[in-house]
Amino acid sequence: MSQSLFLAYVDVFDEYGDRDSSYSISTIGYSCIAIFFSVVVGSIAVVAGILNGFRRYDAGIPLVGSCSAAISAACHQPKDDHTASVLPVKWGVVESGFGTGHGHCCLTSLEVTPPTAGELYAG
């Protein structure tokens, strides 16, 4: 992109080393190859974005966007999960709660079960 259009500035000096402003020019230069590749790469990016929008979302971890409370809840793994930093993690129900009657959903390396409709979960 930076090579598609560029500033070309030419200073002309006379035989005494003084700048001759009547012959000095400032203009815009361009590169056809850079413009062509910019259009091709930009078109591919737009088409890839549109095609990505048609993909179905796999059910599993809910979409929370940028909700920091939901992201924080998903990141609080159980106290006995000491290997989450080195093993693959999955999202799901890990425990029945702390006597509150609510389950807890999070990312963990321990065994998880999928959430059940109608149950209450803390994360």
Same domain, 49 and 63: no
Is the CB of residue 108 less than 8 Å from the CB of residue 84? yes
Is the CB of residue 108 less than 8 Å from the CB of residue 94? yes
Per-residue pLDDT of the chain (123 residues; tens, 9 = 90+): 777 888 988 999 988 888 888 888 999 989 999 999 999 999 999 999 999 999 887 766 777 778 888 788 778 878 888 888 888 988 888 865 445 667 788 888 888 888 888 888 775
115 contacts: CB under 8 Å, gap ≥ 6: 92, 93, 103, 105, 121
pTM, two decimals, is 0.48
Domain residue limits at 37: 5-53
Same domain, 32 and 49: yes
| Structural domains of the chain, count | 2
Same domain, 84 and 39: no
Same domain, 63 and 121: yes
Buried b (16+ CB within 10 A) or exposed e, 88-100: eeebbbbbeeeee
Same domain, 49 and 64: no
Same domain, 40 and 66: no
Same domain, 115 and 66: yes
Same domain, 47 and 65: no
Rounded Cα gap, residues 29 and 21, in angstroms: 20
Tokens found for residue 49:
């974005």
Same domain, 110 and 73: yes
58 contacts: CB under 8 Å, gap ≥ 6: none
The torsion of the CA quartet 65, 68, 74, 79, rounded to 10 degrees, works out to 170
Same domain, 44 and 71: no
Q: Tell me how far apart the terminal alpha carbons of the chain are, to the nearest angstrom.
A: 44
